[in-house]
Amino acid sequence: MSVTTDETVIRSEAAGPVPAGKPQRRGFFAAGLHIPYAMILPAVIAMVGMLAYPLYRLFDLSFQNVNRYAYLVNPALAKYIGFDGYTKVLGDSEFWDVVLRSICFTVELVAASMVLGMLFALLLNRVSPWVRVVCITVMMFVWAIPALVTGTVFRWLFASNGGVVDYLWFLVTGDESVKHYDWFADPTVGLYAVGAAVIVWGALPFLVIGLYAALTQVPKELMEAAKLDGANAFQAFRHVTVPVIKPFLMISTALSFIWDFQVFAQIFSLRNTSPEPGYWTIGTFLYEKGIVASKYSDSSVISIAMILLMLAVLVFYIRQMLKIGAQDR
């Protein structure tokens, strides 16, 4: 027969509760740890299945000398040439001119679209609900218009004969000479002014709606506290709003860079399916070499170079997504 004394009770309390044994996990789906991986596995398999062979063919063609004649008429002429194709493309000054033009054009597009998108989003945040609904509905229609149609419409608007923009310019200035101004004669004006207007016009709906949704997540208490501390509107925006919406700003900037760097349809339709060399960005240059000139191997090298140039932005985008995912846990 056991006897419980005060000393035994004191020792038991000092020792603390008995540690619970570690639960044993059994099976692949134990504790739900592997369920997310199992759910995403079919999508991963489908993506790998769709992308593996095209990527293999892309790299395989880059080490060959293949064009339309060799592919259709005399396949025996197609042979492996090693890195000669890379040396040919990377040693072409025209290729680097196109790359520099694409980078400058992309920086302009991203900066203009992000600034205008933010301004319109701030405006939507201040107007009445019915005005906001009308504006968002109009932007959704703009977003639904195909890029080829948008480029064609802007080509008509900026036409030197009967163009709406030239006529409005004439009404404002009264100068007869501007009624037939050719916006596309100088590729610098045609690309960096008209071409940028087309692309930014199509990009604004996504950015405005996304930025407006991000602005609605800024706590009103923080804005009121900033005003009570004496901050003006710009200071409150810089030190309160921007840090809160920074994740979306980072993601939208990275996505805009990826989309704008490989833009093709707008420039293609703006120049009536025949863009001049001064309008060539990396997307149109790839079309000219791969489709028009039928230099399949050269276009494969250009595609790989394009992927490598975008790799830094892709890595930045993925890192931001991972950081945002870690913060939400």
> Does the pLDDT value for residue 328 go beyond 50?
yes
Residue 3: inside a domain: no
Q: Residue 6: its pLDDT value, please?
A: 53
CB 263 within 8 A of CB 279: no
- Burial code of 164-195, b = ≥16 C-beta within 10 A, e = fewer? ebbeeebeeeeeeebeebebbeebeebbbebb
Residue 139: inside a domain: yes
Q: Residue 186: its pLDDT value, please?
A: 92
Residue 289: inside a domain: yes
> For residue 134, what are the domain limits?
91-327
Q: Residue 32: its pLDDT value, please?
A: 61
Q: Residue 191: its pLDDT value, please?
A: 94
Give percent of the chain above pLDDT 70: 85
Residue 100: inside a domain: yes
Q: Residue 203: its pLDDT value, please?
A: 92
Q: What is the mean pLDDT of residues 22-47?
A: 71
Domain containing 112 — which CATH number?
1.10.3720.10
Residue 107: inside a domain: yes
Over residues 265-294, the pLDDT tens digits come to: 999 999 988 899 999 999 999 999 988 888
Residue 26: inside a domain: no
Structurally, the chain folds into a number of domains equal to 1
Q: Residue 324: its pLDDT value, please?
A: 67
> Does the pLDDT value for residue 10 go beyond 60?
no
Residue 110: inside a domain: yes
C-alpha atoms less than 13 angstroms from C-alpha of 315 in its C-beta half-sphere: 6
Over residues 286-309, the pLDDT tens digits come to: 999 988 888 888 999 999 998 888
Q: Residue 313: its pLDDT value, please?
A: 77
DSSP assignment of 56-115 equals: HHHHHHHTB---HIIIII-GGG--B-TTHHHHHHHT-HHHHHHHHHHHHHHHHHHHHHHH
> Does the pLDDT value for residue 70 go beyond 90?
no
